[in-house]
Amino acid sequence: MLGTKAATTIGPEGWRNSTLKGIKLSQTIVQKSDKNCDIGRSMDPLPQLRDTVAQLSNEEIHRYTREVRAVVAKLRESLLETNEEIKSLTRGKEALEKSLEHTRKDIQLNKDSQENRISRPTKERDHDGADDLLNAERSHLLNCKKALEQQLKSVQQQLHTLDAARKRLFNVLQERSRVLDLLCHALSSIGNSAKHSATGSRSRSSLDGRLSRLGPSMTDPIGPYTPEADLALADAQDARARSAYLRKELNDVIDRTDKLTRAAHKSVNDGMTQKFSETVTLKQHLTVSLGENRHAIHRSQRWYDATDRARGYTMGPVMSADLSTRERLDRPMVRVFQRHPGTQLPEAQQIIEGGDGLLQSLTATSRNIGLLRLASLRLDDDIRSKSAAASIDGSIIRLRRRKSDHRWTLGAAF
């Protein structure tokens, strides 16, 4: 009975339950505390949190700046290529302007040649092959001038486009370069370090890899490679491609113009030389013909003088008192002969007919002498015209040869 009573509680039930509840609550709190400690050991930050976070931030900054540096390298490379393209196109523009200046000088030379030919004598102003060659040369030169001016306009517009692309690249480059002030070495040293160390070689290859991956798919408005940078690179690349094609076109136009102007200039010079040669040849023939004409005039004049003297001999002296007995028609021998009927002599009639014949010969010879002298005047005038024309054509040939090197200025006095 006592043991049974000892097993049972004597204290109040509520008092006991309250104690047991406190024990259970304590055990629950202990378990929860142990669990929280375990979770804290696995989840709570370490004491070096500040250093770790700062290191992660620095790594993120380094990654971002390296990517920005790759973008800046691409932008700078594109800027340098654009500058070189502008230089090349500017040299092409200068060559085009020089070719255009030469074409304008050739047009002025063609105009001077045509104006000089107008001063030829009237007989030599007939339209000839040299005029056709000069007109054809002028037509070709005007077409070349028009083509060169159009090409120059295109080149100037392309230079403005390249300049705008360069300014855009420069602005984007300046904006992207704002975060590169704290890099350990300059961007330009990457290539130099690549030549001297394997580390530099690896950094250069990694940089090239990052550059090759840049494209529209890599754009990020808040990333290293922004859409503005991509558009600037694309515009600059398109402008450079267009400029390269334009430079090739420009060189073709200059070569074609140069060949055409040289061919036209040579054809005109050859034509003018041929015309000059023909004029000189005709002048030589005219000189020979003038000499023969003068010789003929002298022969005719001698014949005229001889015929006139013969007619004087035939007509006899002017006064009858000067007639000798043997020249009289009633000389004694004739009077004795005419004592018989039907013995009329034709001497008087023949003398008259002989005088008339000699007079006709004198008239014909005088007319021929007049015609020969008229022909001589015409030949002499033709020779003077040919001499003047040859002199003008020769001066034009010398002028064109002297100015063919284009080492003269428009409007200069020569």
**Whole-number pLDDT of residue 325:** 64
DSSP code of residue 406: -
Q: Are residues 236 and 104 in the same domain?
A: yes
- Give the integer Cα–Cα distance in Å for 393 and 400: 10
Cβ contacts of 230 within 8 Å, gap of 6 or more:
214, 215, 216, 218, 219
Classify residue 91: in a domain, yes or no: yes
> How would residue 414 be classed by pLDDT, with cut points 50, 70 and 90?
very low
- Cα-based distances in Å from 8 to 14, 22, 200, 302: 14, 21, 88, 195
Q: Are residues 210 and 359 in the same domain?
A: no
> How would residue 192 be classed by pLDDT, with cut points 50, 70 and 90?
very low
Q: Are residues 184 and 318 in the same domain?
A: no
Residue 104 has pLDDT above 60, yes or no: yes
- Give the integer Cα–Cα distance in Å for 280 and 242: 56
Joined together, the tokens standing for residue 87 give: 């230089």
**Whole-number pLDDT of residue 198:** 42
Q: Which of 92-106, 148-162, 181-195 has the lowest mean pLDDT?
A: 181-195
**Whole-number pLDDT of residue 282:** 93
- Give the integer Cα–Cα distance in Å for 27 and 18: 14
% the chain with pLDDT above 90: 48
Specify the number of domains making up the chain. Answer: 2
Q: Please state the separation of Cα 102 from the chain's center in Å.
A: 8
Q: Are residues 241 and 152 in the same domain?
A: yes
DSSP assignment of 106-150, as one string?
HHHHHHHHHHHHHTS-GGG-S--HHHHHHHHHHHHHHHHHHHHHH
Classify residue 119: in a domain, yes or no: yes
Q: Are residues 261 and 302 in the same domain?
A: no
**Whole-number pLDDT of residue 184:** 56
Radius of gyration of the chain (CA): 60
Report how far apart the first and last C-alpha atoms of the chain are (Å, whole number).
157
Classify residue 234: in a domain, yes or no: yes
| Rounded average pLDDT over 10-33 | 85
Q: Are residues 327 and 227 in the same domain?
A: no
> How would residue 191 be classed by pLDDT, with cut points 50, 70 and 90?
very low
**Whole-number pLDDT of residue 156:** 95
> At which of 273, 301, 327 does a domain end?
273
Q: Which of 178-182, 200-204, 228-232, 321-325 has the lowest mean pLDDT?
A: 200-204
- Give the integer Cα–Cα distance in Å for 42 and 36: 10
Whole-structure pTM value: 0.71
Q: Are residues 253 and 355 in the same domain?
A: no
SS3 244: helix
> At which of 273, 308, 323 does a domain end?
273
H helices present in 316-346, as ranges: 332-337
> How would residue 312 be classed by pLDDT, with cut points 50, 70 and 90?
confident
**Whole-number pLDDT of residue 195:** 43
5 or 346, higher pLDDT: 346
Classify residue 125: in a domain, yes or no: yes
**Whole-number pLDDT of residue 292:** 94
Among candidate residues 73, 397, 90, 410, the one with its CA nearest the CA of residue 266:
397
Cβ contacts of 351 within 8 Å, gap of 6 or more:
314
- Give the integer Cα–Cα distance in Å for 76 and 233: 10
| Rounded average pLDDT over 20-34 | 87
Stated length of the chain: 414
In one letter, which amino acid is 11? G
In terms of residue numbers, what domain contains 210?
60-273
**Whole-number pLDDT of residue 260:** 92
Contact 118/55 with Cβ under 8 angstroms? Answer: no
- Give the integer Cα–Cα distance in Å for 189 and 199: 13
> How would residue 321 be classed by pLDDT, with cut points 50, 70 and 90?
low
- Considering Cα of 393, then 398, then 399, then 405, what sign does the dihedral take? positive
Q: Which of 138-152, 201-215, 317-331, 378-392 has the lowest mean pLDDT?
A: 201-215
Contact 193/200 with Cβ under 8 angstroms? Answer: yes
Q: Are residues 131 and 263 in the same domain?
A: yes
> How would residue 252 be classed by pLDDT, with cut points 50, 70 and 90?
very high
- Torsion of the alpha carbons at 24, 25, 26 and 28, rounded to the nearest 10: 90
Q: Are residues 250 and 327 in the same domain?
A: no
- Give the integer Cα–Cα distance in Å for 202 and 7: 85
**Whole-number pLDDT of residue 264:** 92
Classify residue 31: in a domain, yes or no: no
> How would residue 413 be classed by pLDDT, with cut points 50, 70 and 90?
very low
Joined together, the tokens standing for residue 4 give: 């049974």
**Whole-number pLDDT of residue 281:** 94
Classify residue 383: in a domain, yes or no: yes
Classify residue 339: in a domain, yes or no: yes
Q: Are residues 182 and 136 in the same domain?
A: yes
Residue 154 has pLDDT above 80, yes or no: yes
242 or 32, higher pLDDT: 242
> At which of 215, 240, 273 does a domain end?
273
Contact 78/233 with Cβ under 8 angstroms? Answer: yes
Joined together, the tokens standing for residue 382 give: 């033709």
- Considering Cα of 247, then 253, then 255, then 261, what sign does the dihedral take? negative
Q: Are residues 266 and 293 in the same domain?
A: no
Classify residue 10: in a domain, yes or no: no
Q: Are residues 175 and 249 in the same domain?
A: yes
CATH number at residue 161: 1.20.1260
Residue 391 has pLDDT above 90, yes or no: yes
Residue 117 has pLDDT above 70, yes or no: yes
Cβ contacts of 352 within 8 Å, gap of 6 or more:
none
DSSP assignment of 172-232, as one string?
HHHHHGGG-TT-SS-TTHHHHHHHH-HHHHHHHHHHHHHHHH-SGGG--TTSSS-HHHHHH
> How would residue 320 be classed by pLDDT, with cut points 50, 70 and 90?
low
